[in-house]
Amino acid sequence: MKDTLQKLLTENQWNITEEVIKEAMEYDNPKDFFEDLLQYGCQSWMVGWLVRYTDTHEFFDKHYDEIEELRNELDEQWIELNIPTHTDLKNFLAWLSFEEKSRELYDSLEMSQYVSTHTLGHPCA
């Protein structure tokens, strides 16, 4: 998985996916990173540089356009975000976007691994 992530890192520069890949690469087994993050979320503080409001606000400002694009995509899919009224909006959306991009990346990695392990030696592969 690390080899695939390294390849994807060169294709994803200056975006949220790059940030996710860099964080996942810090783990001996990136799959553990994805599974933990998708179970516990950013609120678990497992992404140490995305904990304080100053950090999440900086992340939000840096990736504003991509976060808004993601918000619009979710809205088009009729996915209600249920943003709590007592929360910091930039923090909420920074965490949401990091988690959503992690989910998308994990799903695509799992699918590509499934395809490669299930088509090896298959006459139609």
**Torsion, CA 74, CA 80, CA 86, CA 89, rounded to 10:** 10
Look at residue 44 and tell me if it is in a domain. Answer: yes
Question: pLDDT: is 46 or 118 the higher one?
Answer: 46
| Angle separating helix axes 30-40 and 16-25, nearest 10 degrees | 120
Look at residue 125 and tell me if it is in a domain. Answer: no
Percent of residues, the chain, with pLDDT higher than 70: 86
Look at residue 46 and tell me if it is in a domain. Answer: yes
43: which 2 tokens? 């609120």
For residue 64, what are the domain limits? 2-119
pLDDT digit string, tens, across residues 44-84: 999 999 999 999 999 999 999 999 999 888 888 877 777 77
Average of per-residue pLDDT values in the chain: 84
- How many independent structural domains does the chain possess? 1
Look at residue 93 and tell me if it is in a domain. Answer: yes
Of 22-31, 45-54, 111-120, the one with minimum mean pLDDT is 111-120
Look at residue 87 and tell me if it is in a domain. Answer: yes
pLDDT of residue 83: 78
Question: pLDDT: is 124 or 113 the higher one?
Answer: 113
Look at residue 20 and tell me if it is in a domain. Answer: yes
